[in-house]
Amino acid sequence: MSGLYDLAMPALRLLDAEAAHELTLAALKAGLGPRAVWDADSVLRTDLVGLQLPNPIGLAAGFDKDAVAPGAMLRMGLGFVECGTTTPRAQVGNPRPRLFRLIEDRAVINRMGFNNRGHEVFAAGLAARPAGGVVGANVGANKDSTDRTADYVVGLKRLWPLADYFTLNVSSPNTPGLRDLQAKGALEALLGTVAEARAGLSAGPAGNRPIFLKVAPDLESGEVGDIVEVAVAFGIDALIVSNTTIARPAGLASRHRGETGGLSGAPLFEPSTRLLAEFHAAAAGRLALIGVGGVASPEEAYAKIRAGAGAVQLYSALAYQGAGLVTRLISGLASLIRADGFSNVAEAVGTA
């Protein structure tokens, strides 16, 4: 069925990028999404900090901000889905246009600004999802919040029984000042407060949940080690490397290359993979890593794994290749792992 779904891609590209995205989500919510037909492959089964994944290919946050269609995305064959970013109160985000296709560069620039309908709508979406599959909640802070640390804790408390894991988004470039939370002192304050809240929540009937931290690709020298040490000290389970970049690599051809916002897609692959390898070296096995940025082929997914990622996420490539990309990634990745003599994903992690 993914073939029929992919036939709609040329028509969707005739629409404004955000309008096309909204139409796609509406179709998925209505049950019109593709259903992958594939047999689970034992070589791809992945234990990600206790989360049992059928394969290590996940959906990055940003696609489904309000958790309206996580079940539909899992039916495409994805190993896990991350919804959000969600904030305590609904917010409209930045003015349109704020989402741009860089077709010549196989890239996207967005300056959405955490547009979402707030925790209550998000919670209802998670509560209504079909049983089974791993779905995470990416939480953030409202733009006008007077206490951003408190906003993250509010998200954890409201959504704790409903999500399988949580990601703290401190790395979006589209909320002014948010990336300041990655600085060592601010990160210690945030993660210390989160750890305290987590302890109380984990003692409740829902038990513990893994907590991830999503970092920016635009880090200064020395920040990698600081982030790792603070994350380890406060019990963060995994780092997601990385969010979109404010850099504009030389050679971008699209007329939209000068738009303000975060750049994702193909140009982000090499810098984000280099950064992933740096985090792998600094973490030395103390943290799991999830690789994000420019994944559009089995070879690129495998490169992230060999650079240190236990799982990968994608988003922008789906806008260009359609839902069929998921099954191509799954089958191709399994072949690459076997060709190198590994019996599972974990054996290949960090072997580059």
**Alpha-carbon Rg of the chain, whole angstroms?**
19
Task: Indicate the SS3 state at residue 179.
Answer: helix
- Catalytic option among 172, 264, 272, 316: 172
Whether 172 is a known active-site residue: answer: yes
- Residue 204 parent element (H or E): none
Q: Which of 89, 135, 95 is nearest to 116 (CA)?
A: 89
End-to-end Cα, the chain, rounded Å: 36
Specify whether the CB–CB gap between 311 and 42 falls below 8 A. Answer: no
Task: Give CA–CA dist 6/14, Å, rounded.
Answer: 14
Tokens of 116: 């979402």
- The single residue listed with the structure tokens 């940025």 is 293
d(CA 224, CA 230): 10
Structure tokens at 27: 């179709």
The set of catalytic residues is 172
